[in-house]
Amino acid sequence: MRYGLATILAVMVVASAGIMAQEEAPIVRMIRAYGGTIEFRPPVVAIEGPNSINSPEIAQRFATVEFDVSASNIPNVYVRVIHCNADWTESTNGFLNDVTNRTSLVDWTLAPARSRYYQYRGKLRVPNEQLVLRFPGNWKVRVYDLDTDSMLAETRMFVVLPMAVATMNFMTDFYQPANRVSGIALTLETVVKADPSRLLDNFVHTAVCYRNNRWREPFIASQRYRSRPTAPSASSNVVGMLAGGKVFRVDRIPAENEYRILDLSSAGMFPSTGAPVRMPFSDQRRNGQFAQRADDGAMSTAGVSSIDDEYIPLEFLLDPAPGRPSENDVFVVGSFNSWQADRTWQMYYDESLRLYRLRQWVRRGRHNYMYATGTVNADDGTLRDVTFEEFEGNTASAGHGFVSFVYAQMQEYGGYDGIVAVTTSNIYQSGR
């Protein structure tokens, strides 16, 4: 049977359309941001203005945004930045959130040939030749599919226009834990001093503290925004204008425990067979005990070679002994999931093994993590009442670094929340 050229071309077009229809949209497996080129640095960028002072040491000239993608071909994506208020609600100011302020200058690298979980790694600098950061404040960095204009992933970064000096004080405090653990808590004070010729005190309205690398857990002390119940025990207040500076205080933050360490750098201990690798021993409740210092919540991949830089299917095991299984849902939270617990990181209790279990893909490298409890909202999948008390305990010896951002009402372009100072410290560095 013979077919004409037109018929053959028509069949080819239909077949090509079928292949395109079957091609799945790209999936972002992991996204993160860090300062400059160092994984341990917070994603804080400094800009200059007519009233700015010397940049704080913590701030860099740019942030690096890195994301791993599962796709059949190099993804066609672009990146936008969205300015936000101090509480991460998005700014409605059209001058700040210009839709044309975006970039496609992504540097792509291939995953190792045997990689099953992702195929391409995208990396870019913010700001760059296409994307400009003119305004200080909180910024959401979003990756979009250029073909469908759908958002694929989001991370966070901070831009500071230094106009004031901030310091952080730590004091030990107490709270009433829900579980039988130590009631040690921390009170954090952010003290802000500004030159009136550069910035008036009454413009400074908010300080937000974070545990380093945990940018979804703000502790807010503000004259404008209500404090978020990130820790149910915490409260906040603003002392006001004093001779020593304006003081923003957050009380009764649980000290938590030092992070657990998961080092997947060794291909010998964690081989790339494609089969789930079980942790050598089941983790146990710690009750405040820890053996070594962690990496302040950061992910470190510096010791991983390019041929091994992939994801390992890992099985987490948690032994609830000496207690019974938790009455709440249990989650694994750490640097491998940007310290964001969700249903995909929820463990289940195996009655036969009497262990909590979870199989997940984890990027090869050195990670910090903990076990959290909470409850899943059945309507939207969000978590409520997240705490690390039950399986981690609580101890004032944990050396978590905290970062505090100071916000002022900026007067130009109709007014907006801008970061005018940033400081970092921990309980061992504080002067109190």
**Domain boundary assignment for the chain:** 26-160, 164-256+397-425, 260-392
In what helix (H) or strand (E) does residue 7 lie, and over which residues does it extend? helix 5-22
Would you state the pLDDT for residue 20? 39
**Fold of the domain spanning 164-256+397-425:** Immunoglobulin-like (2.60.40)
Per-residue pLDDT tens, the chain, 432 aa: give them: 444 544 434 434 444 444 434 467 899 999 999 999 999 999 999 999 998 999 899 999 999 999 999 999 999 999 999 999 999 999 998 889 988 899 999 999 999 999 999 999 999 999 999 999 999 999 999 999 999 999 999 999 999 999 999 999 999 999 999 999 999 999 999 999 999 888 888 899 999 999 999 999 999 999 998 766 567 777 888 876 656 689 999 999 999 999 999 999 999 889 888 789 998 889 999 988 888 899 999 999 998 999 999 999 999 999 998 878 999 999 999 999 999 988 999 999 999 999 999 999 999 999 999 999 998 887 877 788 899 999 999 998 898 999 999 999 999 998 999 999 999 999 888 665
Q: Which residues of 212-235 are buried (b: 16+ CB within 10 A; e: fewer)?
A: bbbbeebbbbbeebebbebbebbb
Distance of alpha carbon 390 from the chain centroid: 23
Token output for 184? 């040690």
In what helix (H) or strand (E) does residue 239 lie, and over which residues does it extend? strand 235-242
- Find the distance separating the first CA and the last CA of the chain, reported in whole Å: 90
Would you state the pLDDT for residue 24? 79
**Fold of the domain spanning 260-392:** Immunoglobulin-like (2.60.40)
pTM: 0.91
260-392 has the same fold as 164-256+397-425: yes
DSSP state of 73: S
With CA atoms as reference, report the closest residue to 205 among 236, 235, 234: 236
Sign of the dihedral defined by the CA atoms of residues 320, 321, 322, 325, in that order: positive
In what helix (H) or strand (E) does residue 64 lie, and over which residues does it extend? strand 63-70
Please identify, in words, the CATH class of the domain defined by 26-160. Answer: mainly beta
Token output for 343? 């249903």
